[in-house]
């Protein structure tokens, strides 16, 4: 009996130590309050980098934050099809109070109707509490707004893939080196000695 009592003392102490952590455990996620906007207008067929959206873990537990586009809050304009927005670097893993900026890209299809578009960028945390069979979780939303103007997006007059530029540059360098060597008068003569022949 006495032995059991001595055994229960350290277990009780551990439980007491764990109590505050359990009491204050929380899950939380935050997002920038200012809406995600596009500078200028978008055109059908265009691709645009939006300003990265700020997310933060406001809970005590480490969690992964993912991004989705939904129409939640009140606002005017056409609903942004979720497929138009792609987020890089997600899900992003954040510990307590850690934050990140998630790059977003807007791709407007060629068939997009002109007008004002509105939806919400929703940051959802993976952490949750279990209440019986229920998982209790959090998310946070901020506005997403931009305008699509008529007219197809035009690429610049000199728009070629990066690898083409690198290839052309390489060819130019080699050609310039060859011309330079030729004009300098330097000659490389390769001779085979008789010993090698034998």
Partner 1 sequence: MSPSVRWLLMSLVLAAMTACGAVVAPQQAMGRAGSISLSLTTVPTIRSVTISPGRASFTGCTGGDGGANTRSTFGRLGFPNGQCWVGSNVSASYPITVTNTGIGSDIDISGSSATPVEGGGSWNLCSAGGEGPLACTGRASKPGPDQYQVLNFSTWGTRHGGISGTPRCDRVFGPRGSCWAVEGMVVTEGLELIGPQWSSDTSTNWTITITWTPVPGRQN
Containing 196, the helix (H) or strand (E) segment is helix 194-197
**Interface pick for partner 1 out of 13, 18, 72, 179 (rule CB under 8 A):** 72
- In angstroms, the CA 83 to CA 110 distance is 14
**Interface pick for partner 1 out of 30, 67, 117, 146 (rule CB under 8 A):** 30
The contact pattern for partner 1, residues 50-69, with x = CB under 8 A and - = no contact, is ----x-x-xx----------
Q: Does 142 engage in binding with partner 1 (CB under 8 A)?
A: yes
Instruction: Identify which of residues 8 and 73 has a Cβ nearer to partner 1 in the complex.
Output: 73
Instruction: Identify which of residues 42 and 141 has a Cβ nearer to partner 1 in the complex.
Output: 141
The footprint of partner 1 on this chain (CB under 8 A) covers a number of residues equal to 40
Q: Exposed, middle or buried, 182 (CB in 10 Å: 0-12/13-18/19+)?
A: exposed
Report whether 69 contacts 53 (CB < 8 A): no
**Interface pick for partner 1 out of 135, 154, 173, 180 (rule CB under 8 A):** 135
Cis peptide upstream of residue 22 (ω within 30 degrees of 0):
no
Q: Which stretch binds partner 1 (CB under 8 A): 2-10, 28-36, 41-49, 154-162?
A: 28-36
Rounded least distance, CB 169 to partner 1, Å: 43
**Interface pick for partner 1 out of 1, 11, 17, 134 (rule CB under 8 A):** 134
DSSP 64-129: EEEEEEE--S---SEEPPGGGEEESS-SEEE-TT-EEEEEEEEE--TTPPPEEEEEEEEEEES--E
151 sits in the region (left: phi over 0; alpha: psi -120 to 50; else beta) called left
**Interface pick for partner 1 out of 35, 45, 77, 114 (rule CB under 8 A):** 35
Rounded least distance, CB 56 to partner 1, Å: 6
Q: Does 129 engage in binding with partner 1 (CB under 8 A)?
A: yes
Sequence-ordered list of residues with C-beta below 8 angstroms from that of 48, at least 6 positions apart, any chain: 38, 42, 105, 106, 107, 108, 146
Q: Which residues bind partner 1 (CB under 8 A)?
A: 24-35, 54, 56, 58-59, 70, 72-75, 120, 122, 124, 128-143
């Amino acid at each position: 009996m006495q032995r059991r009592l001595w055994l229960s003392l350290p277990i009780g102490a551990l439980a007491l130590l764990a109590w505050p952590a359990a009491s204050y455990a929380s899950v939380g996620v935050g997002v920038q309050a200012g809406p995600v906007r596009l500078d200028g207008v978008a055109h059908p067929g265009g691709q645009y980098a939006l300003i990265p959206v700020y997310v933060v873990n406001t809970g005590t537990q480490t969690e992964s934050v993912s991004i989705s586009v939904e129409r939640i809050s009140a606002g005017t304009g056409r609903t942004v099809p979720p497929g138009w927005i792609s987020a890089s670097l997600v899900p992003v893993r954040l510990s307590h109070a850690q934050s990140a900026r998630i790059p977003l890209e807007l791709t407007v299809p060629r068939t997009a109707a002109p007008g004002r578009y509105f939806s919400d960028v929703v940051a959802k945390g993976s952490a949750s509490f279990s209440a019986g069979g229920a998982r209790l979780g959090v998310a946070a939303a901020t506005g997403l707004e931009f305008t699509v103007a008529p007219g197809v997006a035009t690429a610049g007059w000199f728009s070629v893939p990066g690898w083409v530029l690198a290839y052309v540059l390489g060819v130019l360098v080699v050609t310039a080196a060859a011309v330079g060597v030729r004009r300098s008068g330097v000659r490389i003569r390769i001779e085979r000695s008789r010993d090698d022949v034998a």
